[in-house]
Structure 1
Amino acid sequence: MTSRHRLTSVDTVREEGSWVFTARDEHGDDEEFFLVPCEDDDRPAVEAWVNSCTHEAQRLYREGVGAVVRNGDIVCPKHGSMFDSCSGYCENGDAADTTLPSVEIDVEDGQVYLTDEDVRFLYEGTMNDDGDDDGPDSTSHLQF
């Protein structure tokens, strides 16, 4: 039987636009994951992704900003690559033809549960949740 941990509600993810948590992966490393709304009838109301662009180790979710989602795409703040919020696939920019790594979740009665057997929930928020995130390591500093 799969163990599960309640993360948050679908309403919270929709209201905030995204939601982040830290978990321990199958290798014993702490990693950030974030939830974003998904408006696709074939998928749950939210999806969960590793908080890192596939092109470079750039956070897609940042404290104080969240994940930038525009027209159903998660936007990398460093180079502007756009990942489909439901599939994680990127069609443009430096991350083109890659897909964000996901983590297994279930949505039941409006609640989001972590169900991935290889990932153990640690806490809500980012690993360096000190409010000192000055943004992406880039000169473009895309914001919406």
Structure 2
Amino acid sequence: MSGRHRLTSVETVEEEGAWLFTVRDDHGEDVEVFLVPCVDADGSGIEAWVNSCTHEAQSLYREGVGAVVRDGGVVCPKHGSIFDTCSGYCDNGPAAETTLPAVEVSVEDGQVYLTDDDVRFLHEGASRDDEDDDGGPSSTSHLRL
């Protein structure tokens, strides 16, 4: 469905800590996806995850805030569950034993490309339906971010 689409540079993702874009899936739904740096035993790379906590529909990346990444994990701002940046797996909190849905990307010559045939790139940034969003989660977590 998508072919190969250049998203951004690895340098941009590393400098910003994460990078958000919107795709359209096979069902015609607009889906937000974010890129994060991944550093593991195989070296470093970039991974792409659907921008929604697996426990409850909560954005992990918020425009104006970004994604909170600590010690190789993306922190859910609502309940504090932490998803590994390389595998998307969560082993704690309400989202424990779940994995974020991945979107296929590749890195070539310092550039990040969308290569997932199940989605089509729409635009950089958040989905356009977030216009009535207040910009922050309704947090029940004891964590302060």
Fold match by TM threshold 0.5 = yes
1:107 aligns with 2:107: yes
Q: How does 1:32-51 map to 2 (within 5 A)?
A: 32-42=32-42, 45-51=45-51
1:81 aligns with 2:81: yes
Change (3 A) 1:82 1:36: same
1:140 aligns with 2:137: no
1:134 Cα shift? Answer: 3.0
Indicate conservation of the 8 Å contact 1:78/1:141, yes or no: no
- The amino acid of 1:8's aligned partner reads T
How many residues align? The count is 143
Q: Could you tell me the percent identity over the aligned residues? A: 72
- Residue by residue over 1:68-104, the C-alpha shift from the partner in whole angstroms, topping out at 9 and shown as x without a partner, is 0000000000000000000000000000000000000
**Hey, what's the Cα distance between the residues in 1 that align with 2:89 and 2:4?**
26
Change (3 A) 1:15 1:108: same
3-state SS in 2 of match to 1:94: helix
Change (3 A) 1:44 1:26: farther
Q: How does 1:46-85 map to 2 (within 5 A)?
A: 46-85=46-85
Q: How does 1:84-99 map to 2 (within 5 A)?
A: 84-99=84-99
Q: What is the alpha-carbon root mean square deviation over aligned residues?
A: 1.9
Change (3 A) 1:55 1:141: same
**Hey, what's the Cα distance between the residues in 1 that align with 2:44 and 2:28?**
28
3-state SS in 1 of match to 2:40: coil
Change (3 A) 1:132 1:54: closer
**Greater fraction of residues in strand:** 2
Indicate conservation of the 8 Å contact 2:63/2:135, yes or no: no
- The amino acid of 2:137's aligned partner reads P
**Hey, what's the Cα distance between the residues in 2 that align with 1:44 and 1:102?**
17
3-state SS in 1 of match to 2:12: helix
Unmatched 5+ residue regions in structure 1?
Answer: none
3-state SS in 1 of match to 2:107: strand
- The amino acid of 2:95's aligned partner reads A
- Residue by residue over 1:87-128, the C-alpha shift from the partner in whole angstroms, topping out at 9 and shown as x without a partner, is 000000000000000000000001000000010000000014
3-state SS in 1 of match to 2:11: helix
